[in-house]
Amino acid sequence: MRSVICMKHIKQKRQLNLLKVLLCAALAYSVITLPGTVSFAQCDTSSTWIIYSDSTGVAEGSDAYIWPYPETGDSIDLVYPRGCPLDSHTCARTVATSWAGWGLFLIKPDEHTIDLIACNYCGLAFCVMAPCELWIEIEDANNNKSTALISDYGWDETEPTSWQYFYIPIYSFDGQADLENIFGIFLVTAKETCTFYVDYIHWVSCVPVKNTTWSRIKALQK
């Protein structure tokens, strides 16, 4: 299977293009640190990258940052027992009194980034149950963020207690964050009093291969 290695150092932008033609053997996302200056992410360009689910936890090489205000009653539980139909056991539950959320950042073993374009990802997909607007973001190594609102991608506010599936095309994030140098691979925030749930977050491959995950998603949507 032909793949590429997606190489980006946290302080580099477009200097490693020639290295993208190398092959990577692992089907799952992993982090490799070379001696000295370069950290890079390894991906399979024909496979969906699951970054949060019951079976995988958070993506290897990542960790969750949260931004609640506990003194006002905000709370976040990343293993709350209420999963969406595609990932039925647990989910991430956020209780926001005014502004709260969480995100996944590539910080292990060291800060590093991933090239979403070279990795051949066409979009970000996830399940949400929410009675409020949510800001979905990605962040690059220079703290630039690109934002999408779930209301622009089919959120039905009349169904606040039902799981809804969202797919945001990667081009929707173009223009702010550098898609070839992404450090924050998923961020979600509510900016009002709201309790919301997020589950089964994944970057979807552009390659039309037989993919069990994608088949399950399409079956759910019928």
Q: Output the pLDDT for position 218.
A: 45
Q: Among candidates 189, 168, 199, which has minimal Cα distance to 52?
A: 199
Instruction: Give the pairing of strands 57-58 and 145-149.
Output: unpaired
Share of the chain above pLDDT 90, in %: 60
* Residue 1: inside a domain: no
Give the model confidence (pLDDT) of 162-182 as tens digits: 999 999 999 999 889 999 999
Q: Output the pLDDT for position 58.
A: 92
* Residue 11: inside a domain: no
Rounded Cα–Cα distance for residues 59 and 38 (Å): 20
- Domains: count for the chain: 1
Amino acid symbol at 72: T
* Residue 18: inside a domain: no
Give the model confidence (pLDDT) of 14-51 as tens digits: 333 222 222 222 222 233 232 222 234 567 666 889 99
Q: What are phi and psi of 152, to 5 degrees?
A: -85, -5
Rounded Cα–Cα distance for residues 89 and 80 (Å): 8
Residue 56: which CATH number?
2.60.120.430
Where does the pLDDT of residue 140 fall: very low under 50, low under 70, confident under 90, or very high at 90 and above?
very high
Q: Output the pLDDT for position 41.
A: 56
Burial state string for 13-44 with b = 16 or more CB within 10 A and e = fewer than 16:
eeebeeeeeeebeeeebebbeeeeebbbbbbb
Mean pLDDT of 114-119: 93
Strand partners, 213: none
| Residues in CB range of 35: below 8 A, 6 or more apart | none
* Residue 38: inside a domain: no
* Residue 215: inside a domain: yes
Q: Output the pLDDT for position 47.
A: 80
Mean pLDDT of 68-97: 90
Q: Output the pLDDT for position 190.
A: 97
Domain with 142, as residue range(s), is: 48-106+121-221
Rounded Cα–Cα distance for residues 52 and 126 (Å): 9
Q: Output the pLDDT for position 42.
A: 60
Q: Output the pLDDT for position 86.
A: 87
- List the single range of 78-82, 147-151, 208-212 with lowest mean pLDDT: 208-212
- Predicted confidence (pLDDT) at residue 75 exceeds the cutoff of 90: yes
Q: Among candidates 132, 140, 208, 212, which has minimal Cα distance to 176?
A: 140
* Residue 165: inside a domain: yes
Q: Output the pLDDT for position 25.
A: 24
* Residue 24: inside a domain: no
The contacts found for 39-42 with CB under 8 angstroms, 24 or more apart, are 39/9, 39/10, 39/110, 39/111, 39/112, 40/5, 40/6, 40/7, 40/8, 40/9, 40/16, 40/112, 41/6, 41/7, 41/8, 41/106, 41/112, 41/113, 41/114, 41/115, 41/119, 42/5, 42/6
Mean pLDDT of 185-198: 97
